[in-house]
Structures are given as structure tokens and as C-alpha cells.
Chain A
Amino acid sequence: MPKLLSGAEIVFKALEDQKVEYIFGYPGGAVLPIYDELKNHKSIKHILARHEQGAGHAAEGYARSSGKPGVLLVTSGPGATNAVTALTDAYMDSIPIVCISGQVPTHLIGTDAFQECDTTGITRPCTKHNWLVKNVNDLPDIMNQAFEIATTGRPGPVLVDIPKDIQFNKGIYKVNKKKLIKKLNGSLSKKLDLKDVDKFIEMIKQSSKPIFYTGGGVINSGPKASELLRELISLTGFPITSTLQGLGAYPGDDPQFLGMLGMHGTYEANNAMHDCDLMINIGARFDDRITGKIDEFSPKSKKIHVDIDPSSIGKNVQVDLAITSDVTELLQAIIKRFKEKNKNFISSNKQKTAKWWTQIDKWREKKSLNFINSKETIKPQHAVQRLYELTKNQDTFITTEVGQHQMWAAQHYKFDKPNRWMTSGGLGTMGYGLPAAIGVQIAHPDKLVVDIAGEASILMNIQEMSTAIQYRLPIKIFILNNEYMGMVRQWQELLHDKNYSESYTEALPDFVKLAEAYGAVGIRARTPDELDEKIKEMISTNKPVIFDCVVDKVENCYPMIPSGKPHNQMLLGPEDEKEEVSDEGKTLV
């Protein structure tokens, strides 16, 4: 007779089987049996956040920087509802998270008991799958399926809701392997079709104005995918642009890289997307911040779309060749086939794409990321550039909040490795960066982790400073402080007749004192002269730091695809603005 285990023990047995090292969480009445069991499992360390949303984003940061699933443990009711933002964020950005939530005892479900909420109902649209466990004997299978579903196919969050009585009940830990799910996001795990591979290569050979457009799918496919991508780009000699989430898959300072594309992408990347005759989308999803006006999106190109999720293909943009596949698998097949048949492709093709590269160089001459620097005030772009220059010689992990600072970080910080860039792209969650940095630092205790932040975003989860102190996590919070919700202010300037409704924060904390209050180090830079020195001081401080970088209050983020315009009609700077944003444009931003 196998040993009987309590539900709480079964949870930990499954976590051990899944080789989980860290749980991010917050205790409460309905999960106490699980917390009680924690002491018996030394291989699993619990990181106590200060808010369940913070725990969730920390789990995301851990997952994105390590490639392992993040585990989140919360109580019923408010514990679960606080985790919803993080779960939705993970769902939008395809991050594997396993969330375990406590629930009121089975017999009280439906009675509006204390701290009861319909957790599975609330989280159904923001998880890949969720379960309400009604029998302790179902728990071993559910826990293991949870990890499998979170990490296979297009990754994402799952939730297991466990009533308190189930955590106490005794059952047998037996996993039914057959019950594990065989399908990946609706596409049965079918083999890659060689015909598609050949068609892919044929389209490459036909093209004279090609561009690779790569996204988070490359990162999610693992570090091998980034290596293969670099190999394919070098084999073809084609230009490449990346989405926000794909940054780092290809080196940001490589001459074939055109920079990020999309609403705040570079002039050359967006124009190349518009004018190309072949667009090769690998692991990106034609998001609306990328495409601009969809009806005029890249009108003359043939399009290839590679995605692991079949529902991403044809959702926003119809394509000529659709391949449902993992990126690594696809790239391996393409490169193998390509080498067999096209030994001297670059030299033979150089002529064909020479004109295209000349055109790209012309667009590059616009230097669309340029800005007018100042001797008196720190320009936010300058601050990010200096941070990059002073940290690029060490393996640095960057997280961000959401807003102008996020876009400046994406534009001016050049990543050369995958999993170094953690930002909330799909959901756009302010308050993401600080807890995410905590998760990253947990996964990489000896690396430099910087949260590039805005002063408004950082206040949304500032309580997690306390977590950083408790676990001695020397994260650096680099605040570009302009006292405005900068992106809101920018849109109000461009679209709402400069009516800066509620976008100025009239009362802000003194961030240096705030850092000290938490037991961290506070540093402030006010002028360009002292910036480098202060950044160096931040890097060499082996404690959490809040860096209050006082920047120009009204700097806007350019270039920008304005409201409802296609890729080839960008605003490059303040000079363009007056003529370009028409009333018609305002409807469509």
C-alpha cells in the first residue's frame, strides 16, 4: 500500500518532481496547510513578496530570464484577485507560470464565505487552463499537467485552485502519464513538412527586398533558437528587425540589424517593412503596435509566418506561407536544407539585394533615434545611452516598467543575448519592472539587474523594495524622473490639444529618502556632468539602489508612427508634428 500523503504534501511532491527551486508567494488563511508543509522541503525556497501582484511579476521575471516556469503561491479571495494582473500579463507575453491558489473549504464554496471568490471563473480568460481541485486523488495529475501545459506549445500561465480541505485530505501520489496532454495549443504535434521548408527557401531566393521580422517566439524557443537565427541571418545576408519582445535574439549592434520596429521603432525598420517584397515573420504576432494601419501594412510583400500557435497565424494579417512550428525546429530544418542546396547564396545573391541595402542605408541616414542633447538637463535618451555604455561590458539584465522610459530603453539599450530583456509588452503593465527585477536577480544572483523605470510606474509596486532588502537582492532601480506620466503626457500633447489632464504628479516622494527608508541606497543625478559618475556608483553598490535620474520634463519619444498611419509615414521629431497629426489621425492613434 503506497503511503498516504496530504494534499499539501502532494503539492510539494509535484513541485519537487518538477525540480522547482523557488516559489514566489504570500500566505493567507486558505493556503496555510501548504505553507505549513514548506519547512519539510529544503530544496524549495519561498520568496515572500509584499503584494501578490509583485509575487506574480517576480515569477515572470524569474521565468523569462531563466527559461524555467515561475511558480506563484497565493491565498483565496484577494490573494487570487491580486494575482490576476500578473497572470494576464504572463498570458499576453507567453510566459510559463504555475499559480497555486488556496480556496475556501469545498463545503463553503458558493456560500460567499470569508475570502471566497470564483477564482477559476475569474482567471479562465487569462490562463491557458485552470483547475478547481475537488478530490485529493486528482491533485497529482493536475499538478503535473499544470507544468506541462504552462511550458509546452506557446507557453503561458495556468492556475490550480485548491480548497483548504483538499490540502488536508490524504491521497496517493500517483501520476498517470497517459493523462498528460499530448497536444500543443490545438495543433497535434505534427512533423514539419519538408515542402514548406522548400517553399520557404524558394521564396528567399526569389526575393530582392527581403526582411526578417522576429519576435518573442525566438526567445521562448530557447537560447538555441537565437544561435540558429544568427546563423540564418548570416547565411542569407538579409536585414533583420525585431519586435519589443524579440530584442536580444539578434545582436543589437550588428550591421544587419535595423533596430526595433513598430510604433516607436526606427525609420529604417519600419520603411523596410513597408517596402519589402518578402517579409519573414519568425515568432511574432502582427500586433497592432507593430502593424500600424492594418489596411496599408506592407502592401507589396509576400509574407511568411512561423508561429507555434496556429491561432496567431492569419489573425491580423493574411500570409502566403504559414508554418506552425517551434522556432528552433524550423530554423534547424531551414538551415540544413539551405546549406545542402545553396552553398554560395550570399555571394550569388549580393547583387540582387544590393539596391535594397542601398535604400536601407539611405533610411539609416535619417538617424531616427537621434535627439537634441543638452548640457543643462539630462535627456532621458542620453541617460539610457550612458547606462548602456557603462554596463555593456558585463552581462546585464534589464527590466522595465511601462511608458516612455520603456521605449527609450528598447531603442537605446543594445542587447546581444536572449533572456536579458524583460518588459511587459502585450498587457503594458505599469509596476512590472521592480518585481520582475527581483525574480531575475533570484535566478541570477551574481549578475547586474537594472529596472529602467519611470517615477509613476515605480510607485505602483514600490512595496517590493522591502522584498529586495529581505533577500539581499542588489537590484538597481533606474528612474527616469520627469514628474509626468510621460507617454500619457505625450499623447495628450499630440492628440488632445495639450490638455494635460491628470498626467502630472504633483506630489512625489523623495526617492533618495524612500530608498533609505527601505534600507536601500538612494542616488540622485540632476545634471549631465554628474551622470556617469553616479551611474558608476550605482553599479558598484552591492545593495539595492534607487537611482533618481532627474530628466527633461517634456521630452517626447520619437520616432513615432502617428495615429492610423502606415509604416512609411513616421514622425521623426517635434518639427514633423505640426503638419502631420491631422484631425483624421486623432481618431486612429
Chain B
Amino acid sequence: MPKSKSAYSQPTKFGKEDHHIIVVWVDNEAGVLARVIGLFSGRGYNIESLAVAEVDKKQHVSRITIVTKGTPEVIQQIKLQLGKLIPVHKVADFSRNDTNIIFKELALFKLVGTSAKQKKAKLMCKKFNPIILDKTNKSFVIQVTALRRDIDKLVANLKPLGLISISRTGAVAMTRGKEVFTQ
């Protein structure tokens, strides 16, 4: 590494990075998404995916779901920094390995190909709640819901079968059972 003559010390120890899903409930007001993602970019945190929509029309509360990666210290900082933002109501942090949490991502695929290829492709999607949304002789659009990594795999497998367009949402999350997350 070239010698930087930086004015700051460099860390020599690095913690193990893990994937976390951060869920943030915010007032749906102008600029609120910019505040949240600006905090991530400004402090050098990752955003791997992002899903956001208003979930309470009356109270104007939006739910933002962010998939991120970081050391335990960084994840802790993300939670605390988000908690300081004025329009933020509560912040939940789920580890991706937490079996008590359901994670789902939705994807739309457009495939163009022979009927044999189409058939094979549909078969491949079978495990992931497929719905055919559009169909012509040569093409179809299919919707699947699955985990991020399953969709990643599916994308790789569908490529040779005529996958020409992909649209994916960010992951969304919810706790199992009758409890809801409170802070």
C-alpha cells in the first residue's frame, strides 16, 4: 500500500460483517427518504436494497426496509443514528439468519424463447409462487416472490432460457407469530 500522509489514524482491526435488515417507520413527509438514505451515504454505510411505501394512510407513516451489511458496531451505529432523525418513529434491526423473521423480495422476469425453453423456465420458477402476468406466443412475464439469494440464483439459471428483462423490489420483512415489533 502506498504511504498516505493522512492526518488520521487507520484502524488495523476489522470486525466480521453481517447482513442485516433495518426497518424504519417514518412520517411520510417531504424529504424523509433523502434524510434516511443521505445518512447511509454520508456515513459510509451500505445499502444493498431498499423498499419503501406508505403503510398508514391516516397517520402518514411509511415503512422503509433497508438491507445492509456491516460489523456489529456499524449496525449499532446505523440504528442509533436513524433513531436521532426527527421523523423516525422506530427502528428495527433483523439479522438475516433470524428464523423468526420472514423476508421476501418480489421479482418480475420477461422471457423470450421457444416453447420448450419457456416450459423449462416456468418449471424452474415453480418453487417461488409464480404468477404469469402476461403471455404471447414468443414471450411471457412471470412474477416470483422469494429470498434475495434464491432470486439471484434464479436469474443466473434463467439467463440461458431467454431472460431479457428483470425488475426486482428490495426485500421486505415481517416478524412471525402474533407479535409486532415495538421499541
Interface residues of B in 1-31 (CB under 8 A from A): 3-13, 30-31
Cross-chain contact of A294 among B11, B82, B86 (Cβ < 8 A): B11
* Mask of A123-163 contacts with B, CB within 8 angstroms, 1/0: 01100110010100000000000000100000000000000
Selected interface stretch from B72-80, B108-116, B132-140, B144-152 = B72-80
Q: Is B57 an interface residue (CB 8 A)?
A: no
A132 and B3 CA atoms in complex are apart in Å by 45
> Contact: B9 with A292, CB < 8 Å?
yes
Q: Is B34 an interface residue (CB 8 A)?
A: yes
Q: Is B178 an interface residue (CB 8 A)?
A: no
Q: Is A4 an interface residue (CB 8 A)?
A: no
A198 and B38 CA atoms in complex are apart in Å by 40
A255 and B86 CA atoms in complex are apart in Å by 43
Q: Is B170 an interface residue (CB 8 A)?
A: no
Q: How large is the interface on B (under 10, 10 to 19, 20 to 34, 35 or more residues)?
A: 20 to 34
Taking the closest CB of chain A, its distance from the CB of B136, in whole angstroms, is: 41
> Contact: B10 with A124, CB < 8 Å?
no
B residues less than 8 Å from A495 (CB atoms): 5
Q: In the complex, which residue of chain B has the Cβ closest to the Cβ of A589?
A: B7
Q: In the complex, which residue of chain B has the Cβ closest to the Cβ of A149?
A: B86
Selected interface stretch from A273-281, A310-318, A411-419 = A310-318
> Contact: B3 with A125, CB < 8 Å?
no
* Mask of A447-458 contacts with B, CB within 8 angstroms, 1/0: 000000000000
A residues less than 8 Å from B5 (CB atoms): 495-496, 586-587, 589
Taking the closest CB of chain A, its distance from the CB of B47, in whole angstroms, is: 16
Given contacts A315-B77, A586-B3, contact A186 B9 (CB under 8 A): no
A186 and B13 CA atoms in complex are apart in Å by 29
A496 and B6 CA atoms in complex are apart in Å by 11
A185 and B7 CA atoms in complex are apart in Å by 30
Q: How large is the interface on A (under 10, 10 to 19, 20 to 34, 35 or more residues)?
A: 20 to 34
> Contact: B3 with A587, CB < 8 Å?
yes
> Contact: A124 with B81, CB < 8 Å?
no
Q: Is A361 an interface residue (CB 8 A)?
A: no
Cross-chain contact of B73 among A120, A295, A310, A314 (Cβ < 8 A): A314
A residues less than 8 Å from B9 (CB atoms): 288, 292-294, 563-564, 588-589
Q: Is B162 an interface residue (CB 8 A)?
A: no
B residues less than 8 Å from A292 (CB atoms): 9
B residues less than 8 Å from A294 (CB atoms): 9, 11
Can you report 25 residue pairs joining A to B where beta carbons are below 8 Å apart? A121-B31, A125-B42, A128-B86, A132-B30, A132-B31, A149-B86, A185-B83, A185-B84, A186-B85, A186-B88, A288-B8, A293-B9, A294-B9, A309-B84, A310-B80, A311-B77, A311-B80, A314-B77, A315-B77, A563-B9, A586-B5, A587-B4, A587-B10, A588-B6, A589-B5
Taking the closest CB of chain B, its distance from the CB of A231, in whole angstroms, is: 31
Taking the closest CB of chain B, its distance from the CB of A200, in whole angstroms, is: 21
Q: Is A181 an interface residue (CB 8 A)?
A: yes
Interface residues of A in 109-131 (CB under 8 A from B): 120-121, 124-125, 128-129
Q: Is B120 an interface residue (CB 8 A)?
A: no
* Mask of B29-69 contacts with A, CB within 8 angstroms, 1/0: 01100110011001000000000000000000000000000
Q: Is A502 an interface residue (CB 8 A)?
A: no
> Contact: B3 with A124, CB < 8 Å?
no
B residues less than 8 Å from A589 (CB atoms): 5-9
B residues less than 8 Å from A132 (CB atoms): 30-31
> Contact: B13 with A181, CB < 8 Å?
no
A residues less than 8 Å from B85 (CB atoms): 129, 186
A120 and B31 CA atoms in complex are apart in Å by 9
B residues less than 8 Å from A186 (CB atoms): 80, 82-85, 88
A residues less than 8 Å from B34 (CB atoms): 121, 124
Q: Is A583 an interface residue (CB 8 A)?
A: yes
Given contacts A295-B12, A311-B80, contact A124 B86 (CB under 8 A): no
| Besides the known contacts A315-B77, A588-B6, A588-B8, 19 further A-B residue pairs in the complex with CB atoms under 8 A apart | A124-B34, A129-B86, A134-B30, A186-B80, A186-B83, A186-B85, A293-B9, A295-B12, A295-B13, A311-B84, A314-B73, A315-B73, A491-B7, A495-B5, A496-B5, A564-B10, A587-B5, A589-B7, A589-B9
Most buried by A among B5, B35, B77, B88: B5
